[in-house]
Amino acid sequence: MSVLIEERIDNGQVALLTINRPQSLNSLNTEVGLKLKEAMEALSYDPSVRVIVITGSGEKSFSTGGDFKERNGMTDDEWKQQHRLFEEVAKQFRQCPKPLIAAVNGFALGGGCELALSCDIVFASKNAKFGLPEVTRGIIPGIGGTQTIGRFVPKGVAMELLMTGRHMPAEEAFRRGIVNEVIESEELINKVLDSCRLIAKNSPNAVRLAKKAYRLGIDHPIEDGVEIALECYNQTVTHPDRMEGSQAFVEKRSPKYQNS
């Protein structure tokens, strides 16, 4: 049984990755890390893929983070070596050039929460719970969670989550701005795919550059951020999709954008 299932949807435009370890609440072991790293490397630069979705198998858990059963008994060096793999995967998520959507079904805890927070958009089932409980295990979030959580919620809320390790229900996560929408479990993937299709019909080049402009510019003073965004904008002007989009609008037809 594969620990990571990859499906191609809508003629390959949407790639759905499912962490498939339901018996352990889709916890992240070394094999999952290696499979995710390989898949993200391939999908990030596959011209036929316009949107990537990550979810967990079943309705109980997106991922509960690192597999402590596998880690039990590891030496410090073995722990650090495995952790470097998870660091690389989380960085792939944060720097993915394509839209990356998390479909959070159930628990998103520890490293699972960190991966969700590293995506561009987060949809959650009504039974979803988010948390960074690492302090209850004698460690802290190690693949970006201490930095990403503060980009979603105010300082006090971020510090509370980091220092208490409590679980945040989906509805609260929605109110706090972590989650885009809360959906019935059985409708979660269909809703996510609807959003994917809205994205996929647009110019892949423009979508990629819109994401790049936001990611690179948002932490700068506004005028510096605008300059970064203008550099991205000018790249759309010289791309064939700009002309195709304009012609399609004038001719009142759907545009046919390039897969690049």
In a domain? residue 63: yes
In a domain? residue 131: yes
β-partners of residue 15 are 8, 52
| Non-local CB neighbours of 37 within 8 Å, separated by 6+ positions | 85, 88, 89, 92
Which of 7, 70, 88, 114 is catalytic? The answer is: 114
Q: What is the pLDDT of residues 86-130, one digit of tens each?
A: 999 999 999 999 999 999 999 999 999 999 999 999 999 999 999
Whether 112 and 214 map to the same domain: the answer is no
Determine what percent of the chain is predicted with pLDDT higher than 70: 100
pTM recorded for the entire structure:
0.95
CATH code, domain with 234: 1.10.12
Mean of pLDDT values over 218-229:
96
Mean of pLDDT values over 12-38:
97
**How many residues can be counted in the chain?**
260
pLDDT of residue 260: 74
pLDDT of residue 3: 97
Whether 245 and 153 map to the same domain: the answer is no
Whether 119 and 212 map to the same domain: the answer is no
Mean of pLDDT values over 44-69:
96
* Number of domains comprising the chain: 2
In a domain? residue 258: no
Whether 69 and 26 map to the same domain: the answer is yes
Please give the residue range of the domain that contains residue 77.
Answer: 4-200
Rounded to an integer, what distance in angstroms lies between the CA atom of residue 135 and that of residue 79?
A: 17
The confidence band for 259, taking pLDDT boundaries of 50, 70 and 90, is confident
In a domain? residue 45: yes
Residue of 52, 118, 63 lying closest to 87 (CA atoms): 118
Whether 209 and 180 map to the same domain: the answer is no
Q: What is the pLDDT of residues 237-257, one digit of tens each?
A: 999 999 999 999 999 999 999
Q: Tokens representing 184?
A: 């019935």
Q: What is the pLDDT of residues 145-162, one digit of tens each?
A: 999 999 999 999 999 999
Whether 224 and 174 map to the same domain: the answer is no
Whether 81 and 127 map to the same domain: the answer is yes
Mean of pLDDT values over 207-234:
97
In a domain? residue 129: yes
Q: Tokens representing 29?
A: 């072991």
The answer to whether 239 and 209 have CB atoms below 8 angstroms apart is no
Mean of pLDDT values over 177-190:
97
Rounded to an integer, what distance in angstroms lies between the CA atom of residue 19 and that of residue 6?
A: 9
In a domain? residue 257: no
In a domain? residue 228: yes
The confidence band for 171, taking pLDDT boundaries of 50, 70 and 90, is very high
Give the CA angle between residues 110, 46, 248 to the nearest 5°: 115
Whether 152 and 172 map to the same domain: the answer is yes
Whether 127 and 216 map to the same domain: the answer is no
Whether 152 and 71 map to the same domain: the answer is yes
The confidence band for 81, taking pLDDT boundaries of 50, 70 and 90, is very high
Whether 221 and 150 map to the same domain: the answer is no
pLDDT averaged over the chain? 96
Domain boundary among 165, 183, 200: 200
pLDDT of residue 213: 98
Rounded to an integer, what distance in angstroms lies between the CA atom of residue 183 and that of residue 127?
A: 9
In a domain? residue 259: no
Residue 38 annotated as catalytic? no
Residue 172 annotated as catalytic? no
CATH code, domain with 196: 3.90.226.10
Mean of pLDDT values over 162-180:
98
Mean of pLDDT values over 211-232:
97
Which of 59, 134, 184, 186 is catalytic? The answer is: 134
The answer to whether 174 and 125 have CB atoms below 8 angstroms apart is no
Whether 105 and 144 map to the same domain: the answer is yes
